[in-house]
Amino acid sequence: MTAAPLLEVTDLVKHFPVKRGLLVDREVDRVRAVDGVSFAVGRGETLGLVGESGSGKSTLCRAALQLTKPTSGSVRFEGREIAGLSRRAMRPLRREMQMVFQDPYASLNPRKRIGQIVAEPLRLQGVARGGELRGQALELLERVGLSSEHYDRFPHEFSGGQRQRVGIARALALRPKLIFADEPVSALDVSIRAQIVNLLDELQAELGLAYVFVAHDIGVVRHVSDRIAVMHDGRIVEQGPVDRVCEQPEDPYTKALLAAVPIPDPREARARRQTVGSG
């Protein structure tokens, strides 16, 4: 980590107006999806963002990446303000920040071949073309544990875990410094989840990537993260080094969240139920 963080988000707000009215839409209320959030991510670091459905995790990612316009607040990438930049002005920055999505079934174009999907960002950004494009796409597929025989196949021929590998290869194509991974393993089977978590770990070590790892599963977040931020009702209620937050949580919501995670150990689970029951 260097002195200036890679990404610095300060007081970010994203409100969605609730409008009603016959001729003129009047704003009658607002949904405070993200309500004054600040955090920073250093180079090569993983920030885990944990929270339940509706806590604002996904909106926060979208607003930080300028995929939706923040209502107010500042987002600095390598010291440069990007909040409110036009699509055109954001375009070169898209190389630096990429996203991996939750649903590997919905996030790959079913009519494109795997090779095309992975090469698309390179083509759009004009990084490579022709044979070079194909070569780079093949290299990316291999890097995420797929092979050249997968290049001409379609997404429907792949399992969930393989599709998520394709999604990761696509996110890596432009050699970003930061990847927002929004619930990247929650749609996957238990035996596949560990493979993807380990792949993300390896890529980070190899490429010096920083991650914002978003998930509702605090167990997975704890495993991958250096620091954790806990979101609740649009705000970060607690953030800090992973061991501190998980072992000495301060906020009541963080405590409740940790206490609700089932313990996969019958004796310990029973012991905890009894202490909770009597206390």
Cα angle 268, 197, 169 (rounded to 5 degrees) comes to: 165
In the complex with another protein, the residue whose CB is nearer, 84 or 145, is: 145
Query: Could you give the 3-state DSSP secondary structure of residue 76?
Result: strand
Place of tokens 């991974």: 181
Nearest approach, Cβ of 113 to another protein (angstroms)? 20
In the complex with another protein, the residue whose CB is nearer, 152 or 265, is: 265
Cα angle 94, 170, 188 (rounded to 5 degrees) comes to: 120
- Tokens matching residue 204: 């980070």
Nearest approach, Cβ of 222 to another protein (angstroms)? 6
In the complex with another protein, the residue whose CB is nearer, 5 or 48, is: 48
Nearest approach, Cβ of 230 to another protein (angstroms)? 12
C-alpha closest to that of 111 among 144, 142, 153: 153
Nearest approach, Cβ of 16 to another protein (angstroms)? 19
Residues 6+ apart with CB under 8 A from 88: none
In the complex with another protein, the residue whose CB is nearer, 101 or 158, is: 158
Residues that bind another protein (CB under 8 A): 52-53, 159-162, 189-195, 197-198, 201, 216-220, 222-223, 242, 246, 256-266, 268-269, 273
In the complex with another protein, the residue whose CB is nearer, 72 or 198, is: 198
Nearest approach, Cβ of 96 to another protein (angstroms)? 28
Per DSSP, the residues of 80-99 read: EE-TT--HHHHGGGGGTEEE
In the complex with another protein, the residue whose CB is nearer, 24 or 190, is: 190
Q: Which amino acid is at 41?
A: V
Residues 6+ apart with CB under 8 A from 44: 1, 204, 208, 209, 210
Q: What order of strands is seen across the sheet that includes strand 227-232?
A: 97-100, 178-182, 210-215, 46-50, 227-232, 235-241
In the complex with another protein, the residue whose CB is nearer, 96 or 217, is: 217
Nearest approach, Cβ of 247 to another protein (angstroms)? 9
Nearest approach, Cβ of 154 to another protein (angstroms)? 17
Give whole-number Cα distances, 157 to 146, 165, 167, 168, in Å.
Answer: 13, 13, 15, 17
